[in-house]
Structure 1
Amino acid sequence: MNLYDLSGSGPESEKFDPLLSTDQFRIERIISHAHATPEGEWYDQAWDEWVLVISGSAGIRTANPDQEFTLNAGDSYSFPAYQRHRVEWTDSNQPTIWLAVHYNEPKEAES
């Protein structure tokens, strides 16, 4: 897969492409077209996540601590497990392409 290939993506919805998954981590590519987390919703996940903006830009808000910042192409950020966060906006002039690495995911209980 070419990370810059935008086929199959469009402004109607974000596109999530799984790239690699093991017992220790998941890597996915996300393509956003002027998207934002719906008002009042937060990501609050039980695992750590590192994101890298490959192209475009995005505004991020976190809770605890409450902060808002911009990620531009080449910028990355690490969200620890249970850090509430949301995407306030993504670039409206070009697609924002993200690389997301999810790690330290809780293992499902063995039966």
Structure 2
Amino acid sequence: MAIRPVDLFTVVPSPEEERFDTLLSGKGPWRLERIVSAGQSSPRSFWYDQDEDEWVTLLSGRATLLFADDDGSTESVDLLPGQALLIPAHRRHRVTSTSAEPPCLWLALHGKST
């Protein structure tokens, strides 16, 4: 079987929807996703509350995430290309904005950290 590289920068989403591609997965369990966003955001009333940790890095574009604490306070975090962030399990968050031009290209590693 031939070994072929994956070009992370070739996929461009339709403007209406984000694209999620699982690149790798393994025991533990863990999975590595490539996410392409072009102006999408989470619904205002929606919060991610995941059972696993998520490490994200932004390869292109600009994005803003909003984090919520149990006391009702929130914190906004802007991400630029080359920046990475660890989101601990059950840390409520949502994506408030992503750039359309250039699209956001993310790598997201989901799993349990030690």
TM over 0.5: yes
Question: Alpha-carbon deviations, 1:44-99, whole Å to 9, x = none?
Answer: 01110000000001001001262001000001110100000000000132110000
Q: How far 1:6 moved relative to its partner?
A: 1.8
Secondary structure of 1:50's counterpart equals strand
Runs of 4+ in 1 over 3 A off after TM superposition: none
Listed as ranges, the matches of 1:1-111 within 5 Å are 1-7=6-12, 9-24=13-28, 25-64=30-69, 66-104=74-112
TM-score normalised by L of structure 1: 0.89
TM-score normalised by L of structure 2: 0.86
CA RMSD of aligned residues (A): 1.4
Q: Which amino acid aligns with 1:14?
A: E
What is the alpha-carbon distance in structure 1 between the residues aligned to residue 26 and residue 64 of structure 2? 29
Structure 2 gaps, min length 5: 1-5
What is the alpha-carbon distance in structure 2 between the residues aligned to residue 45 and residue 69 of structure 1? 18
Aligned length: 104
